């Protein structure tokens, strides 16, 4: 073999090796839509239990009964399911929820479905998790309206729940406590996951998303929606200012103007800061935003593009984004769409039907 020939063989080897290597960076710079989505989002888990917050069957069963029992409210009119209705994907279709004694809440009701995925609960994140949320809801003036925990404990005993608590928390003395009803209702909520076409797509089923939804996903990533709405909840993992580019109320017409997380922290940096909500099932949960100020999903998408990104979307972009958001609508859990059979106990003795003894102006419009 001549030196010349050896050189040319080596040269052609180099060409063979170098060619795909040279092509590689270009390919890596353009990952497929599925690859990009896989880096930003994740499919739903089977449930949202953790080592510290497990979901034993007896605890979930108790939590489910409590979730659907209106007799626990001060006037017997309101359960969790009143404002988090199964038919409405865990919401109530009102701009702002109406609680016991017809008291209005400060905020729109987000869905309970997949809610335990989020890093905090409530629009301004003033509850750590679904357990503390549920624990305090029973004494919230504009939710269940009970005067104090002792009143709730009396109601639970009168309604025959003592044995259910003992079964749900075996070996724990004196099981009927606020922390325990929080953990029982929370255990039930940790089972409420709604796998959707987008989850099937993330698992590799490309046909699970229609072409319009795929274009919408591309836009959602491309224009920057996913810088805030990401992770397994497609949101629910951070706080951000509502109104990055212009004041949000210019676009939503909100009245009154809500200062957001500032209300809880009094830190000027938290003015107009809200939790980035999870967008799972968002197509099923109008009206939109913390005050329910926007009626349709298309309009909510336009508002977001304008005030968070400084973009005016074309009609086609809005349609595609809405098609993508529709792919986040999942299958409702069986034990959410059916109501449990509750013990046939009469209303507790301190049940107080009738008009509100504290007129509207004097009741703090605190969160439930």
Which positions touch ligand HEC (CB under 6 A)?
A: 67, 78, 80, 82-84, 97, 99, 105-107, 109-110, 112, 115, 118, 121-123, 130, 133-134, 137, 143, 185, 223-225, 227-229, 240, 242, 244, 274, 276-277, 279, 282, 285, 288-290, 300-301, 304-305, 308-309, 321, 367-368
Helices 315-326 and 297-309, packing angle to 10 deg: 110
Shortest Cβ 302–ligand HEC spacing (Å): 8
Shortest Cβ 34–ligand HEC spacing (Å): 20
Query: By C-beta, is 6 or 250 nearer to ligand HEC?
Result: 250
Q: How far apart are CA 152 and CA 145, in angstroms?
A: 10
SS3 string, the chain, reads CCHHHHHHHHHHHHHHHHHHHHHHHHHHHCCCHHHHHHHHECCCCCCCCCCCCCCCHHHHHHHHHHHCCHHHCCCCCCCHHHHCEHHHCCECCCCCCECHHHCECCCCCCCCCCHHHCCCECCCCCECCHHHHHHHHCCCCCCCCCCCHHHHHHHHHHCCCHHHHHHHCCCCCCCCCHHHHHHHHHHHHCCCCCCCHHHHHHCCCHHHCCHHHHHHHHHHHHCCHHHCCCECCCCCCCEEECCCCCCHHHHHCCCCCCCECHHHHCCHHHCCEEECCCCCCHHHCCCECCCCCECCHHHHHHHHHHHHHCCCCCHHHHHHHHHHHHCCCCCCCHHHHCCCCCCCCCCCCCCCCCCCCCCHHHCCCCCC
Shortest Cβ 184–ligand HEC spacing (Å): 10
Shortest Cβ 289–ligand HEC spacing (Å): 3
Query: By C-beta, is 133 or 196 nearer to ligand HEC?
Result: 133
Query: By C-beta, is 67 or 161 nearer to ligand HEC?
Result: 67
Shortest Cβ 76–ligand HEC spacing (Å): 12
Query: By C-beta, is 12 or 250 nearer to ligand HEC?
Result: 250
Shortest Cβ 266–ligand HEC spacing (Å): 17
Query: By C-beta, is 104 or 210 nearer to ligand HEC?
Result: 104
Shortest Cβ 223–ligand HEC spacing (Å): 6
Q: How far apart are CA 201 and CA 105, in angstroms?
A: 37
Shortest Cβ 210–ligand HEC spacing (Å): 17
Query: By C-beta, is 202 or 305 nearer to ligand HEC?
Result: 305
Query: By C-beta, is 139 or 197 nearer to ligand HEC?
Result: 139
Q: How far apart are CA 187 and CA 54, in angstroms?
A: 7
Query: By C-beta, is 124 or 202 nearer to ligand HEC?
Result: 124
Shortest Cβ 234–ligand HEC spacing (Å): 9
Query: By C-beta, is 110 or 175 nearer to ligand HEC?
Result: 110
Helices 315-326 and 211-222, packing angle to 10 deg: 110
């Amino acid at each position: 073999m001549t030196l010349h020939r050896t050189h040319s063989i080596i040269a052609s080897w180099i060409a063979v090796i170098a060619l795909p290597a040279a092509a590689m960076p270009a390919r890596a710079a353009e990952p497929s839509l599925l690859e990009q989505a896989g880096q930003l989002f994740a499919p739903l888990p089977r449930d949202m239990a953790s080592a510290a917050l497990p979901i034993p069957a007896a605890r979930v069963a108790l939590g489910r009964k409590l979730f659907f029992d209106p007799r626990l409210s001060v006037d017997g009119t309101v359960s969790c399911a009143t404002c988090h209705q199964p038919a409405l994907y865990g919401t109530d279709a009102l701009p702002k929820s109406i609680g016991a004694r017809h008291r209005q809440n400060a905020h729109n009701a987000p869905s309970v479905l997949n809610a335990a995925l989020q890093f905090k609960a409530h629009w301004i994140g003033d509850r750590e998790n679904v357990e503390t949320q549920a624990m305090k809801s029973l004494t919230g003036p504009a939710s269940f309206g009970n005067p104090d925990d002792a009143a709730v404990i009396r109601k639970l005993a009168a309604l025959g729940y003592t044995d259910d608590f003992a079964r749900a928390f075996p070996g724990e003395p004196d099981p009927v406590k606020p922390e325990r009803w929080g953990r029982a209702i929370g255990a039930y909520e940790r089972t409420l996951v709604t796998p959707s076409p987008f989850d099937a797509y993330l698992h590799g089923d490309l046909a699970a998303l229609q072409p319009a939804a795929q274009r919408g996903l591309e836009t959602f990533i491309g224009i920057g929606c996913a810088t805030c709405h990401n992770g397994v909840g497609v949101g629910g993992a951070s706080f951000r200012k509502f109104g990055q580019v212009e004041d949000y109320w210019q676009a939503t017409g909100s009245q009154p103007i809500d200062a957001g997380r500032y209300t809880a922290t009094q830190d000027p940096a938290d003015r107009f800061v809200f939790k980035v909500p999870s967008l799972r099932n968002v197509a099923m949960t109008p009206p939109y935003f913390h005050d329910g100020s926007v009626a349709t999903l298309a309009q909510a998408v336009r508002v977001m593009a304008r005030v968070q990104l400084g973009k005016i979307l074309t009609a086609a972009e809005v349609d595609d984004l809405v098609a993508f958001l529709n792919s986040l609508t999942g299958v409702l859990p069986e034990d959410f769409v059916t109501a449990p059979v509750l013990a046939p106990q009469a209303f507790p003795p301190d049940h107080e039907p009738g008009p509100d003894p504290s007129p509207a102006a004097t009741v703090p419009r605190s969160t439930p």
